[in-house]
Amino acid sequence: MIFITAKFPVKPEHADAWPELSRAFTQACRAEDGCLWFDWARSLDDPNEYVLVEAFRDDEAGAAHVQSDHFKAATSELPQYLSATPRIVNANVEGTGWSELGEMAVQS
C-alpha cells in the first residue's frame, strides 16, 4: 500500500474551521475505490496544525487519487487557508491495514 502522512499548517483564523473547509475533499477521497483510509487529527502541540494519515491500495490507486477532479480542486482551493506548504512522508508499505502494537497489548 501507499502510506502517506502530511502536516498541514493552517492559518490561525481558519484552524477551527479546517474540518469543514476540507470536508468535501475528505469525503470524496474516502469514497475512492482504492482509498484504504483518509483521517485527520489536530496536533496536540500546535492547534493550527492538522495531520493527515492516508493510505491507498497500490500505485494505481494513488495515481487515480492525484488525477481526480476533487484532488485538483483541493490543490487549487485549500492553499489559501494554509500558512505554509504542507510537509509529507510518502512510503510504500507491505500489507493493506493496521497491525496491533504488541508492546501495548490490552489484556481482557
Q: Which CATH architecture has domain 2-95?
A: 2-Layer Sandwich (3.30)
Q: How many CB atoms lie within 10 A of CB 54?
A: 21
> pTM (2 decimals)?
0.93
| Pair 29, 70: CB distance under 8 Å | yes
Q: Which of 13, 91, 10, 84 is nearest to 51 (CA)?
A: 10
Which of 67-71, 84-88, 97-101 bottoms out in mean pLDDT, i.e. has the lowest?
A: 97-101
Say yes or no to pLDDT of 3 above 90: yes
Burial of 107 (0-12, 13-18, 19+ CB in 10 A): exposed
Q: What is the mean pLDDT of residues 64-78?
A: 97
What is the domain partition of the chain in residue ranges?
2-95
The whole-angstrom distance between residue 64's C-alpha and the CA centroid of its chain comes to 15
Let me know how many helices (H) and strands (E) the chain has, helices first: 4, 4
pLDDT digits (tens, 9 = 90+) for 11-60: 999 999 999 999 999 999 999 999 999 999 999 999 999 999 999 999 99
* pLDDT band, residue 108 (cuts 50/70/90): confident
**Rounded distance between C-alpha atoms, residue 47 and residue 63, angstroms:** 31
